[in-house]
Amino acid sequence: MANLTDVNESNFDETIASGTTAVDFSAEWCGPCRMMGPILEEVAKDIEGKAKIVKLDIDESQNKALEYQVTSVPTIIIFKDGKEVDRTVGVQDAETLKKLILSV
């Protein structure tokens, strides 16, 4: 299984600056976010070398959650070279998520 990298406000912009990056905006207390953990790891393994998936805890990085108007978790925002190109809210299955990330 691929390990997901945690990002925060200090390394967020650098992390999404180049290539395709899916950012999982989540929280420790969120049940659906915990359900997404194994799904995200599976997808990260499948798309390795094509795109990356990282996690951002909205409680620790509230300013980024506000900046991107994240009002529900889990929210996954897809970035291409630093620009938001798509997003999804709620639990997604692995195939749907993989297609979404690779479509950009």
Question: Would you state the structure tokens that stand for residue 90, as one six-digit string?
Answer: 């709620």
Among residues 23, 33, 65, 70, the one annotated as catalytic is: 33
- Rounded-to-integer distance, Cα 100 and Cα 104, Å: 7
- Rounded-to-integer distance, Cα 27 and Cα 62, Å: 11
Annotation marks residue 4 as catalytic:
no
Among residues 2, 4, 30, 94, the one annotated as catalytic is: 30
Asked, as a colleague might, if the bond just before 74 is cis with ω within 30 of 0, I would say yes
- Rounded-to-integer distance, Cα 2 and Cα 38, Å: 10
Active site amino acids: 30, 33
